Amino acid sequence: MTAHTLEKLLPQGTTAPRPMVQRGLAPSPFDARLRPLNLHQDWMPWAGYLSARRFDSVEAEYFAIRNQATLFDISPMHKYRVTGPDAERVMNRLMTRDVRKLKPGRVGYSLWCDEDGYVIDDGTLFRFGDDDFRLCCQEPQYAWLLDIAWGFDVQVHEESDEIAGLSLQGPTSFAVLEAAGLGQLATLKPFDVVKVDDDLTVSRTGFTGDLGYELWVPAEKALALWDRIWAAGHDFGLRPIGYAALDLARTEAGFVVCGVDFKSIHTALRPSRGRTPFELGADRLVDFSKGPFNGRRALLKHAKDGPRYQLVGLEIEGNKAPHSAYVYHRKKTEAGHITSTLWSPTCKRNIALAMLKAPYGVDVTGDLWVEIYHDKEGKWERIMAPAWIAERPFFRHTRRAATPPARF
């Protein structure tokens, strides 16, 4: 009865070759500058992009973060532009915090949950105008944003590949900006974002707990931005850094990473593996008074029932970082495990983020021990080291928030 055939669905007489698709990891917009600088050619995948793990020595890069200035390519971050008359309502529906309180020109850190109150991801929300937001995050969220936005008058645009991002962090980072002719950014307060010119947007944000900025340009302007900052940084100890060094700094700063310290509920293998904002210690980011938002009902129940887990900061005796170690109560009952750790050169002690199973970390906070396996001069050794819960962040420098910022 019907002449619906496969042939009808295909364009007639076309033998055009398949479109070229990127195979393997894509080069970042800064690739042409990063590649020659990467002495080890030590790369790692990040959201489909080639991302540097280290350029030279992780230690040198780490100390540059804390004492000089550093450039880290954050272009692979997922970036979404949400615009339109209902943009604020949609972002408020997404986020656990009250987005209505976020003013244009400000950036907010927030997380968002599924209907069961489990965290999907966390990220930074840039508010450019009343109806104009950009969401930067670790995990792909396009489909989820479309779900959240359904029924509202907004446009959701994925601009991950269109916008290049460069994170300039460290005590001399403002001096670098000034040398690059961006001295007017002295008035920028933490979590401010400003459009410098048609192409360049700068926010005073970062992942290190120190003074720092993030610079955003269209991908095709990436190399010009790099050259401008790189040239300006010569006298201020500017170095490129890879993720390995940043990971140390962010742990000191107490920041969690989705996929490392907790699993997004959208990638968790079973529902119970999800974590609530309370379990991640982000209670202050959940605002029940703001009206409906995704997961609110479930979170009310979680708030009533109490956390099943608790992400805590730990300090551990000794100088051997307890990677992937178990945490014990009274040296015998398993209480949880370490998710991120280092011996902090700045804090001069062993620090860690640990996911403890309630009641540990909630009602039972003392008598914690960490079992550390390590190679002691070629001999495998086991240490049962005492640990205690410590305030996060482990490191946060007053120059982080000083406005105007110090030169160095």
Partner 1 sequence: MTRYDAIVIGAGHNGLTAAGVLARGGRRVLVLEKNAGLGGAAAGYEIAPGFQAPRYAHLLHAWHPQIEKQLDLAANGLSFARRDLPTLALAEDGAHVVIEGGAARLLSGAAHPDAAAYATLHRRLVRFAGVLSAKLLETPPQFHRPDWRDLASLAKLGFDVRRLGAADAREFLRVLLSNARDVILDEIGDGPLAGALALDAVMGGHTGPRSPGTALTLLYRLAQGGGRHLPKGGMAAFCTALAQSAQSHGAEIRRSAGVAAVTVENDRVTGVLLDSGETLGAPVVLSSLDTRTTLALTGVEHFDAEAVRRVRHIRCKGATAKINLALSGLPAFTGVDPDDLTGRILVAPSVQSLETGFDAVKYGELPAHPALEVLIPSRLDPTLVDGGGHVMSIIVQYVPYHLKDGWTAGARERLAATVLDLLERHAPGLRSLIVAQDVLTPLDIERETGAPGGHWHHGELAVDQMLTLRPVNGMARYALPVGGLYLCGAAAHPGGDIIGAAGHNAARQAMKAPQTKTEGHAA
Q: Binding partner 1 by CB under 8 A: which of 76, 254, 295, 322?
A: 295
- Nearer to partner 1 among residue 7 and residue 391 (C-beta): 7
C-alpha triplet 98, 100, 104: angle, nearest 5°: 125
Computed over its alpha carbons, how large is the radius of gyration of the chain?
23
φ, ψ for residue 296, nearest 5 deg? -60, -45
Are the beta carbons of 117 and 285 closer than 8 angstroms?
no
> By CB under 8 A, which span of 27-35, 140-148, 309-317, 381-389 interacts with partner 1?
140-148
Cα–Cα distance between 93 and 168 in angstroms, integer? 32
DSSP 227: H
Q: Binding partner 1 by CB under 8 A: which of 27, 48, 67, 152?
A: 152
- In this structure, are strands 193-195 and 201-203 parallel, antiparallel, or unpaired? antiparallel
147 Rama class: left (phi>0) / alpha (psi -120 to 50) / beta: alpha
- In this structure, are strands 119-129 and 106-113 parallel, antiparallel, or unpaired? antiparallel
Look at residues 213, 206, 159 and name the one whose alpha carbon lies nearest to residue 184: 213
- In this structure, are strands 238-240 and 69-73 parallel, antiparallel, or unpaired? parallel
Q: How far is the CB of 89 from partner 1 (least distance, A)?
A: 7
Residue 89 interacts with partner 1 (CB under 8 A)?
Answer: yes
Instruction: List, as one string, the DSSP characters of 20-89.
Output: P---SSBPPTTHHHHHHH-TT-EEEEETTEEEEEESS-HHHHHHHHHHSEEEEE-TTSEEEEEESTTHHH
Q: How far is the CB of 132 from partner 1 (least distance, A)?
A: 20
Q: How far is the CB of 13 from partner 1 (least distance, A)?
A: 24
> By CB under 8 A, which span of 188-196, 210-218, 228-236, 300-308 interacts with partner 1?
300-308
Are the beta carbons of 214 and 177 closer than 8 angstroms?
no
Q: How far is the CB of 94 from partner 1 (least distance, A)?
A: 8
Q: Binding partner 1 by CB under 8 A: which of 13, 150, 382, 398?
A: 150
> By CB under 8 A, which span of 9-17, 27-35, 170-178, 295-303 interacts with partner 1?
295-303
Q: Binding partner 1 by CB under 8 A: which of 19, 24, 292, 366?
A: 292
- Nearer to partner 1 among residue 1 and residue 21 (C-beta): 1
Q: How far is the CB of 202 from partner 1 (least distance, A)?
A: 33
- Nearer to partner 1 among residue 93 and residue 134 (C-beta): 93
Q: Binding partner 1 by CB under 8 A: which of 301, 330, 331, 376?
A: 301
Reported for 276-280, long-range contacts at CB under 8 A and 24+ positions apart, including other chains, are 276/113, 276/117, 276/118, 276/119, 276/302, 276/307, 277/96, 277/111, 277/113, 277/117, 277/119, 278/302, 278/303, 278/307, 279/307, 279/308, 279/309, 279/310, 279/311, 280/111, 280/119, 280/256, 280/311
Binding string to partner 1 for residues 194 to 233, with x set by CB under 8 A, is what? ----------------------------------------
Residue 115 interacts with partner 1 (CB under 8 A)?
Answer: yes
Q: How far is the CB of 139 from partner 1 (least distance, A)?
A: 16
Q: How far is the CB of 269 from partner 1 (least distance, A)?
A: 18
Cα–Cα distance between 404 and 389 in angstroms, integer? 34
Cα–Cα distance between 110 and 5 in angstroms, integer? 50
Q: How far is the CB of 126 from partner 1 (least distance, A)?
A: 22
> How many residues at the interface with partner 1, by CB under 8 A?
23
Q: Binding partner 1 by CB under 8 A: which of 124, 138, 294, 310?
A: 294
Q: How far is the CB of 121 from partner 1 (least distance, A)?
A: 14
- Nearer to partner 1 among residue 36 and residue 292 (C-beta): 292
Residue 118 interacts with partner 1 (CB under 8 A)?
Answer: no
Q: How far is the CB of 129 from partner 1 (least distance, A)?
A: 21
- Nearer to partner 1 among residue 115 and residue 162 (C-beta): 115
Are the beta carbons of 125 and 91 closer than 8 angstroms?
yes
Q: Count of alpha carbons within 13 Å of 166, Cβ hemisphere only?
A: 30
Q: Binding partner 1 by CB under 8 A: which of 13, 17, 19, 151?
A: 151
Q: Please report which helix (H) or strand (E) contains residue 299, including its range.
A: helix 296-305
Question: What is the binding site for partner 1 (CB under 8 A)?
Answer: 1-2, 4, 89, 93, 114-115, 144, 147-148, 150-152, 291-292, 294-298, 300-301, 304
